[in-house]
Structure 1
């Protein structure tokens, strides 16, 4: 096994096990490491919001019934036939009350989405900031369903539309019609809730293209462990159980997973138990959970909380660069 991949895997586990879960509201306002670039010295490219016209006729709408959307910047030159799709993150809503509040924000309604967003980091159009993807077709799909683009139900009493799966499908159809069907290579990425979505939809994304197209999926902080919290409970399990039941996520989860795990467990463990070469180069060996947890225990006992936080941030950057390395087969 090449060390960097194993290192990357362990880092994501440590992030969950050590309890460093930021407040969801705070996380919604921050950029992921994939998008952020501290070295940027010039004004970022501002990309307008494109609403998907006709999406409502397919039932593909945000929580409040408004049209979903994305931001797209076209590729050029050697990247004209390469596509990067980034799924926005921003937590989940697992109760009617949470979802009703959410539809009054940009995470649940197009009415509150920014009309323009800066494209930085992995979405940047500057070669010095983003040497691998600067001239690709780069898309950021806005997140407005509250279930990692995976729900398919509604609550008429609360006027809530849980249509994440339809948003995903409609957005992909729209982008395929705009040239993505001719892609030579395609990368699906996402952060946090979007990172989980990139895992859940990776097989579907692969199936959009012919076998000759090089397809990879990259999840940034999209793995969440079913760990016991400080109060002795299972906060994540309870939260995901609410999302799954409220938005009927179970019918859209990969059957290879639901045949062996309950739907709540799939959301938590999918990225551990069913990793596919589309995520990691098939020449790498599988990583076992037990060995990963052994490393976590050792590291948590060695580092102080403050130094571990800094170390995790640096490690996530190294993890990202290793994934870029794998994407290009170097």
Structure 2
């Protein structure tokens, strides 16, 4: 009996591995050596890098350039802590990345984009690819060059075939989703004029609200990021001409001026924002929010009420997106963050849906202009299709 049970579990394990292999593909790392002479380097001075899975068939001239997330560093000390990790150095990046969901090369799991050229750009600058400081302090060897990396990566891909693009998408998750917003029009200007270019932000719509202690924590933090990295010159001039540069790191202050079509995928109860903007550790010294942030089902009624207020603020900040067919939004009522890059939330039988539509279908219909999509979910916990995140104590959410 014991042997039979063991054999059964081994069969289940083998099947799970086969399923994962079917859904995802491992893609090797490419170093952008051509970026180094341009000073377009990671925090430690190493070359930027990306994973590139080439398109095929009818998708040979279609391109997705997807930027990785991973937070930000707001001063020299924090950037030093980051410099020698995968988020500050290409020397410490994994040599392969698994592509699934929106980046899958399987038609069954990604029907609209499976045969496109799909690139995942690794994040190693700490400024959502906006920084540009010429001087390098020899004591720290910190390079604040994210804005240069953005341009150098696009130029490298143009040389590798994107100059012939018929369709092109700039996208990203989390801090990379913010990149897709802030650099959307620049992307349009860098690629061929004849290409259909659009942008997609996954969990990149960070909002400017007070934390639970009443402090403007995220506003101060973003101002420090922008100052440290010299980001002002790479933020939309339509915003910096009227607001301080730190405020132009918030999508709500730039979105109405974006000219390129753009789609927003976001949870109204974004788990990163709840954990780091609404109730950061500095605003919760006694850890009253700790269990709630790990698992939304453990939130008290009072905490849920505060989170409902956050949702209201989020929807208010989102109002600048408008309802033009050139814009789109899929705002579910889930406790989640980054939903396009994993198969379970992109498109599977049990994926989150709004108006009976998965994220994959909504994004594909919008990109190909089959139908517009502007859906905002009801309040938590009304949507039974949500995949609400549950974290362990040390799990990152970027």
TM-score by length of 1: 0.77
Q: Pairwise CA RMSD of aligned residues?
A: 2.7
Who is 2:347 aligned against?
A: none
| Aligned-partner Cα distance in 1 for 2:88–2:106 | 31
2:364 aligned to 318, 324, 329, which one? 324
Who is 2:198 aligned against?
A: 216
Who is 1:118 aligned against?
A: 98
> Quick check: 2:184–2:258 contact (8 Å CA) kept in 1?
no
Compare 201-210 and 91-100 and name the one that shifted more: 201-210
| More contact order relative to length (CA 8 Å, sep ≥ 6) | 1
| Aligned-partner Cα distance in 1 for 2:313–2:242 | 31
Who is 1:138 aligned against?
A: 118
| Alpha carbons of structure 1 residues 40 and 274: separation in structure 2 relative to 1, 3 Å | farther
Who is 2:59 aligned against?
A: 79
Question: 1:109: how far off?
Answer: 0.4
| Aligned-partner Cα distance in 2 for 1:299–1:202 | 21
| Aligned-partner Cα distance in 1 for 2:314–2:169 | 32
1:279 aligned to 259, 262, 267, which one? 262
2:157 aligned to 154, 158, 175, which one? 175
Question: 1:86: how far off?
Answer: 0.3
- Runs of 5+ unmatched residues, structure 2: 1-18, 265-307, 316-331, 340-351, 371-398
Total equivalences in the alignment: 275
- Structure exhibiting the larger radius of gyration computed from Cα positions: 2
| Alpha carbons of structure 1 residues 280 and 91: separation in structure 2 relative to 1, 3 Å | closer
| Alpha carbons of structure 1 residues 208 and 277: separation in structure 2 relative to 1, 3 Å | closer
What secondary structure sits across from 1:54 in the alignment?
helix
| Aligned-partner Cα distance in 2 for 1:244–1:187 | 26
| Aligned-partner Cα distance in 2 for 1:208–1:298 | 34
> Quick check: 2:209–2:313 contact (8 Å CA) kept in 1?
no
| Alpha carbons of structure 1 residues 75 and 321: separation in structure 2 relative to 1, 3 Å | same
